[in-house]
């Protein structure tokens, strides 16, 4: 339990709609950290990236799911890991380079955070004998979001929708923001 009552989650620049709906029944206090901090349905609060340190303080769970850019490389380092409490878990489903691996190994070994769930690592693949493989408070899963049988129909539906929108003169979905780097 967090100092705010309930479980306190921090989602860093995550396309949060689905996860927020899944967390809804659990009465979590969820802070979303985004480049553009507009309020999101289901989030307790949404803050800009300039308030990331404040959001990490008191978090029980931190989920990283953001684009890898020069500004987000190493966003979770020793200083930010030290902001977390001994019971906090860090989950990274984005890119391994968001987390400074040596700093994470140190925090997990010393018990300054509760644990880590890693769908991605840096380096990737994680070599045999790397300390993360042997830490009891670290879970490593393969970074496989969809099988081809699942992914191809989803991608086809997305393309079909954008072609329909283009022909109708509607805004397209899932556009790349070259200026932001993703």
pLDDT in tens, 101-117: 999 999 999 999 999 99
Distance CA(153)–CA(160), nearest Å, equals 10
Return all residues near 149 (Cβ < 8 A) that are at least 6 apart: none
Burial code (b: 16+ CB inside 10 Å, e: under 16) for 117-126 equals: bbbbbbeeeb
* Peptide bond between residue 125 and the one before it cis (omega within 30 degrees of 0): yes
Q: 35, 51, 143, 161: which is the annotated catalytic residue?
A: 143
pLDDT higher than 90, residue 136: yes
Range scoring the smallest mean pLDDT among 13-27, 122-136, 137-151: 13-27
Give the containing element (helix H, strand E) for 163.
helix 148-168
Highest mean pLDDT among 4-8, 19-23, 107-111: 107-111
Query: For residue 16, what pLDDT is reported?
Result: 67
Q: Where are the domains of the chain?
A: 8-140, 146-182
Question: Please, are residues 68 and 94 in contact by the beta-carbon 8 Å criterion?
Answer: yes
Question: Please, are residues 82 and 111 in contact by the beta-carbon 8 Å criterion?
Answer: no
Told to judge if 95 belongs to the known catalytic residues of this protein, a careful annotator would answer yes
Task: Write down the architecture of domain 8-140 according to CATH.
Answer: 3-Layer(aba) Sandwich (3.40)
Distance CA(27)–CA(6), nearest Å, equals 7
Q: 4, 17, 124, 164: which is the annotated catalytic residue?
A: 124
Told to judge if 164 belongs to the known catalytic residues of this protein, a careful annotator would answer no
> Hey, what's the torsion of the CAs at 96, 102, 103, 104, to 10 degrees?
60
The pTM of this model reads 0.80
Query: For residue 41, what pLDDT is reported?
Result: 86
Query: For residue 2, what pLDDT is reported?
Result: 43
- Give the residue among 109, 117, 158, 154 at the shortest CA–CA distance from 139: 117
Average pLDDT over residues 61-74: 92
- Please, what is the Cα angle at 120 between 95 and 87, to 5 degrees? 100
């Amino acid at each position: 339990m967090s100092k705010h009552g309930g479980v306190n989650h921090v989602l860093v620049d995550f396309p949060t709609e689905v996860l927020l709906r899944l967390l809804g029944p659990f009465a979590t206090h969820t802070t979303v950290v985004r480049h553009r901090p507009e309020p999101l349905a289901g989030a307790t609060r949404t803050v800009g990236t300039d308030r990331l340190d404040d959001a990490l303080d008191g978090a029980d769970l931190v989920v990283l799911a953001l684009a890898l850019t020069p500004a987000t490389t190493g966003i979770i380092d020793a200083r930010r890991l030290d902001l977390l409490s001994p019971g906090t878990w860090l989950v990274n489903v984005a890119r391994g380079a968001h987390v400074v691996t040596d700093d994470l190994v140190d925090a997990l070994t010393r018990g300054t955070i509760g644990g880590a769930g890693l769908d991605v690592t840096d380096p990737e693949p994680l070599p045999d004998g790397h300390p993360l493989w042997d830490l009891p408070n670290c879970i490593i899963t393969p970074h496989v979001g969809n099988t081809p049988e699942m992914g191809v129909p989803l991608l086809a539906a997305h393309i079909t929708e954008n072609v329909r929108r283009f022909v109708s003169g509607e805004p397209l979905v899932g556009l790349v923001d070259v200026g932001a780097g993703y």
